[in-house]
């Protein structure tokens, strides 16, 4: 399994035809238009390749009848035809250009001799091979420049988001240097990109130039020896110009297509990224009858090498509260993430009223569970919007009620802007305890049948904590609740307390029962009582 989808560049790139094939379904929608465009193109190409022939007849007619009493309407008609053909020959593309080359080769073969056809074909082949090779070689630089660009951007965003940490450690200069290094790499990549582009352009121009010179020299010799008329010469010249201009453009189009394919590849990479968790094909909506939650021998690891949960069994009878305590890193929050199905268990199962959560839709599962997470992050919006997020569409009265239950009303009244106060990025303008109470208020607003409270009151002073615990007690009374806590005093009223250590439940029972066992929990309790006594003695 992949806990986190990484958006990095796919290491092995797909062949172009696969990327293009992937585009086909999107094009197929416009099949009619595609067919129409292709037929128009073919007609335009027929027009374009016959234009130089009209030109030849004009020149030859003028040349042969010079001085003689020529009939003016014949060349004028030819000029008119020439204009019409030129008009009919506008737009270009790779396939039509190849079609055009084939037609021109045919005409030259019929009109002159095979040496012109060979000369043109050789230059076209040299041009195409050169363009493809150099463009391939360049693609790596295009990719690199894109990657460097992404990298420096995300670095900049990261250091701006974490500006507090940057300042705590006085690391502005360090961050600036890192960013500078990234930009440096980006610059180098851009430079390689540009230089290789110049190599491509100069090379293409050179191939076209020398081919033109060679073929025109052939034609000049034949005109001089009388094997070719002036009109023939003009025609060859017109064909060359007509062929090489689109050929040059073709180089440009190929480059653009390659570049776009790099982007399309990336797009498909993102589109193809499967979510770590997907609904089963026959997933049903969760049907809560009582709200019974069970973990059956659950094993789980984020990475194969390190087991986090090693066979956990938990039963939370409907409407009961189970508390989980234990050392940091024991896997407590992981239990909550698995129940919310951010990840799937490796083995064992989690059921709600007997339904394996892998067989129900994520939507119905997640709307049934309210979570107050260990770290609350808010949107950079008003306090009101952040509260209303718990249930979009909730009435103002409902929001005020939840705010009172979460003991947040006094705080909001003290704010000059009240509910309209903006909370800053990730909610950084609120204190830790205020953020926690916002999180509690919006879960109360969501009003789900199942509750997970992960250190929900850890940032509060004892007085606010007690007030909220009382409020929460009222709420949790009718609900199946999983409470995770460090401070044992906050969970002593729970129906059952589970003690977790290194991914296993090592003890369970009521508070007094566990104290009587004189084990892990009793030690933890004594320790905390002791430090509490010390704190109160100091005060
Ligand atoms: N997304 C993740 N990828 C990899 N490892 C993770 C991930 N989340 C947590 N872990 C690891 O799993 C272990 C259990 O984490 P968990 O958050 O469940 O601990 P916890 O019992 O809630 O601890 P605490 O009391 O400090 O909150 C930790 O050692 C942690 O490093
Ligand atoms: Mg935790």
Ordered mean pLDDT values, 10 residues apiece, the chain (539 residues) = 37 66 77 79 73 75 66 67 63 66 78 81 88 87 87 89 86 91 92 89 88 87 86 83 75 78 79 82 89 94 92 92 91 93 94 94 92 88 93 92 90 94 89 88 90 84 77 80 87 88 92 91 87 61
**Continuous segment of H or E residues that includes residue 155:** helix 114-161
Task: Mark out the alpha helices in 163-283 (DSSP H runs).
Answer: 163-168, 172-224, 230-272
45 in Cβ contact with 225 (< 8 Å): no
> What is the model's pLDDT at position 72?
64
- Report CA torsion sign: 518, 519, 521, 526: positive
Topology classification of domain 16-271: ABC transporter transmembrane region fold (1.20.1560)
Token pair 């892990």 is at which residue? 520
User: Which of the ligands is closest to the CA of residue 334?
Assistant: 1
Task: Mark out the alpha helices in 30-113 (DSSP H runs).
Answer: 31-64, 73-87, 94-111
Query: What separation in angstroms does the CA of 384 have from each of 156, 164, 265, 369, 376?
Result: 30, 25, 41, 22, 16
339 pocket-lining for ligand 1 (C-beta < 6 Å):
no
Domain extent listing, the chain: 16-271, 293-375+449-538
Same fold, 16-271 and 293-375+449-538: no
512 pocket-lining for ligand 1 (C-beta < 6 Å):
no
Q: Which atom of ligand 1 is nearest the CA belonging to 4?
A: 1
Q: What is the CA radius of gyration of the chain?
A: 38
Q: Which residues surround ligand 2, an ion (CB under 5 A)?
A: 333, 374
> What is the model's pLDDT at position 92?
47
Ligand 1 centroid–CA 360 distance in Å is: 26
Structure token digits, residue 16: 């172009």
Cut 0.75: pTM above it: no
Topology classification of domain 293-375+449-538: Rossmann fold (3.40.50)
Task: Mark out the alpha helices in 406-519 (DSSP H runs).
Answer: 409-414, 432-446, 462-476, 511-517
458 pocket-lining for ligand 1 (C-beta < 6 Å):
no
Q: Which of 332, 372, 500 to mutate to test the pocket of ligand 1 (most atoms within 8 A of CB)?
A: 332
Q: Which atom of ligand 1 is nearest the CA belonging to 330?
A: 21
498 pocket-lining for ligand 1 (C-beta < 6 Å):
no
User: Closest Cα partner for 211 from 97, 276, 125?
Assistant: 125
Ligand 1 centroid–CA 439 distance in Å is: 21
171 pocket-lining for ligand 1 (C-beta < 6 Å):
no
> What is the model's pLDDT at position 85?
66
Pick the residue whose CA is nearest to atom 7 on ligand 1.
Answer: 302
């Amino acid at each position: 399994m992949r806990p986190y989808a990484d958006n990095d560049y796919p290491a092995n790139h797909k062949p172009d035809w696969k990327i293009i094939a992937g585009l086909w379904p999107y094009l197929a929608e416009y099949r009619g238009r595609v067919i129409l465009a292709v037929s128009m193109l073919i007609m335009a190409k027929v027009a374009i390749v016959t234009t130089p022939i009209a030109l030849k007849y004009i020149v030859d007619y003028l040349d042969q009848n010079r001085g003689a009493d020529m009939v003016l309407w014949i060349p004028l008609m030819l000029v008119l035809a020439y204009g019409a053909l030129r008009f009919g020959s506008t737009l270009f593309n790779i396939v039509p250009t190849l079609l055009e080359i084939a037609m021109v080769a045919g005409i030259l073969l019929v009109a002159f001799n095979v040496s012109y056809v060979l000369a043109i074909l050789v230059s076209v082949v040299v041009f195409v091979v050169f363009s493809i090779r150099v463009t391939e070689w360049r693609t790596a630089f295009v990719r690199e420049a894109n990657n460097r660009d992404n990298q420096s951007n995300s670095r900049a965003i990261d250091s701006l988001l974490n500006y507090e940490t940057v300042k705590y450690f006085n690391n502005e200069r360090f961050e600036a240097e890192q960013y500078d290094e990234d930009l440096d790499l980006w610059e180098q990549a851009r430079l390689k990109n540009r230089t290789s582009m110049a190599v491509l352009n100069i090379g293409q121009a050179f191939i076209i130039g020398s081919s033109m010179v060679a073929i025109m020299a052939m034609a000049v010799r034949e005109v001089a020896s009388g094997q070719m008329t002036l009109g023939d010469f003009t025609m060859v010249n017109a064909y060359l110009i007509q062929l090489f201009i689109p050929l040059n453009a073709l180089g440009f189009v190929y480059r653009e297509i390659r570049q776009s394919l790099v982007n399309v590849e990336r797009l498909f990479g993102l589109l193809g990224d499967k979510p770590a968790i997907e609904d089963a094909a026959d997933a049903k909506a969760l049907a809560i009858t009582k709200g019974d939650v069970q973990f059956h021998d659950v094993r789980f690891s984020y990475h194969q090498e390190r087991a986090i949960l090693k066979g956990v069994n938990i039963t939370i009878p409907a409407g009961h509260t189970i508390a989980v305590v234990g050392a940091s890193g024991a896997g407590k929050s992981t239990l909550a993430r698995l129940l919310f199905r951010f990840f799937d268990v490796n083995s064992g199962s989690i059921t709600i009223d007997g339904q394996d959560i892998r067989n129900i839709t994520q939507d119905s599962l997640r709307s049934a569970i309210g979570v107050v997470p260990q770290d609350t992050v808010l949107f950079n919006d008003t306090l009101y919007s952040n509260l209303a997020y718990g249930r979009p569409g909730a009435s103002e009265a409902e929001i005020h009620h939840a705010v009172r239950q979460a003991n947040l009303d006094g705080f909001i009244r003290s704010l000059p802007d009240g509910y309209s106060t903006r909370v800053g990025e990730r909610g950084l303008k609120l204190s830790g305890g205020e953020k926690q109470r916002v999180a509690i208020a919006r879960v109360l607003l969501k009003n789900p049948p199942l509750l997970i409270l992960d250190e929900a009151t850890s940032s509060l002073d004892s007085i606010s904590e007690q007030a909220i615990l009382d409020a929460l007690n009222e709420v949790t009374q009718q609900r199946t609740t999983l409470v995770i806590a460090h401070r044992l005093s906050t969970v002593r009223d729970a129906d059952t307390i589970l003690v977790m250590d290194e991914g296993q439940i090592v003890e369970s029972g009521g508070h007094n029962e566990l104290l009587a066992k004189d084990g892990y929990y009793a030690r933890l309790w004594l320790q905390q009582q002791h430090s509490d006594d010390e704190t109160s003695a100091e005060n």
